[in-house]
Structure 1
């Protein structure tokens, strides 16, 4: 029962994190294809959603065979910390830029990409989001106790199933519930910052796992499974989410800034 609860809790955290990342993914895709004619726009988004599934699944199987290599763990930890710090700094720097007092400068119209170049850019974005998603999921699940299910690649079978379910549910969210999460992120922008801080905290966890690897042995090999460390990790994770929620002032979104409408209108199911 205790094992089931621990796996269930990690899956719940994964679903919440995947939901926010999937909303970000869906919003980015909607913005990237916005300049295309309606028919091409919906096709490009369809390819984007298909690519998101393929790349997430591919990343999962690749990482399952490399997850026990400490160099891969180290690169993954550094990458998660990088995107967390980079995204957070960009948010605060953007927030400090003068907007009201500064005189608007005339912008030159940008040359927009054609259909296939847009699809290519969408797929590159999918790869980046897939790597973010799977690395975060692996860092959360890899410290779970053995489930007794046969290994898949270098992962315990139970850990693999949790990561797969988290990623799969994230795709479902991106396809059917993205508009709700996008609306939530627009109304409470602090949640997006909190989500990427959580990604950074997950990177810290992956760094701890790397340092505890037998070939590195800087800290005790059993430390990542230590109940005190696990409790500290999840308490901090929940606190980050709560601070993000309560410090993010709810904002009204005007119709011309309604990204929810963009995401809903560009769902492939509306045209196929």
Structure 2
């Protein structure tokens, strides 16, 4: 425990916490969006368990981050997955609130962990660099980040209830992050490096597509629901 008295330890720990505060904003949005349709009691569980699960996976991922980020096409796959998660979260905007049972809670936790895992591919590099190979420091710093992410998620969740537009903005944020992730994939990084406009165009296109596709799919689902209700009403009573 002598490392606790080291100034370098506390400086590095402060860096890790600061990095997580700066980089976990999008993760807090995902957590809030994934849990917003649950009852209040299950919202708290989804935020807590989802945040803890995401942090544990982030610790594991950090040890392999530098190697993983060099693999071609991995970021492209991650971007596609994140894009689909954003569309799925946006569709929940028009669904009924008050999901009951463990299925809704488990699905929310799964979405939180999966999205955080994908979005953390870049984030963990900064954390690993700040830790400089110090495993206790790395784990300690990420554990401290849990209440920060939980607080951020809870705050965004409350704002979503008052300002539904935040849900759309959150989905757009996921599309933006997906675009940034795709364009930085090693398989195409050399080609995109010479085309600077793509570094803004692709993320912006990703944000627009997530919102457009999500809204279109929600509209289609609502139309089918209305057609089913009308067909049910027309059926003669037995």
Specify the TM-score bucket, using the shorter chain as the normaliser.
Answer: 0.5 to 0.7
Does structure 2 retain, via aligned residues, the 8 Å contact 1:81–1:203? yes
- Measured in 2, the distance between the counterparts of 1:187 and 1:47 equals 21
Aligned to 1:169: 148
Q: 2:32 aligns with which of 23, 26, 38?
A: 23
Q: 1:18 to 1:72 in 2, by over 3 A?
A: same
**Structure 1 residue matching 2:36: 3-state secondary structure:** helix
- Measured in 1, the distance between the counterparts of 2:160 and 2:57 equals 26
Aligned to 2:161: 186
Q: 1:60 to 1:229 in 2, by over 3 A?
A: farther
Q: Which runs of 5+ in 2 are unaligned?
A: 1-14, 212-238
Aligned to 1:196: 171
Aligned to 2:111: 128
TM-score under structure 1 length normalisation? 0.48
State the shift of 1:126 in Å.
Answer: 0.4
Q: 1:231 to 1:13 in 2, by over 3 A?
A: farther
| 1:181-219 C-alpha deviation (Å, 9 max, x unpaired) | 233112221111111111111111111221xx2xx3x33
Does structure 1 retain, via aligned residues, the 8 Å contact 2:20–2:145? yes
Q: 1:183 to 1:46 in 2, by over 3 A?
A: closer
Q: 2:80 aligns with which of 78, 81, 85?
A: 78
Total equivalences in the alignment: 183
Does structure 1 retain, via aligned residues, the 8 Å contact 2:32–2:157? yes
Aligned pairs for 1:209-248 (under 5 A) are 209-210=184-185, 213=186, 216=187, 218-220=188-190, 223=193, 232=200
| 1:21-44 C-alpha deviation (Å, 9 max, x unpaired) | 33224423426xxxxxxxxxx5x6
Q: 2:132 aligns with which of 145, 150, 165?
A: 150
Q: 1:137 to 1:58 in 2, by over 3 A?
A: same
- Measured in 1, the distance between the counterparts of 2:134 and 2:183 equals 23
Aligned to 1:267: none
- Measured in 2, the distance between the counterparts of 1:231 and 1:10 equals 22
**Structure 2 residue matching 1:70: 3-state secondary structure:** coil
Aligned pairs for 1:253-272 (under 5 A) are none
| 1:39-84 C-alpha deviation (Å, 9 max, x unpaired) | xxx5x66654553244212321343326333343232111112222
Aligned to 1:52: 50
TM-score under structure 2 length normalisation? 0.54
Q: 1:27 to 1:86 in 2, by over 3 A?
A: closer
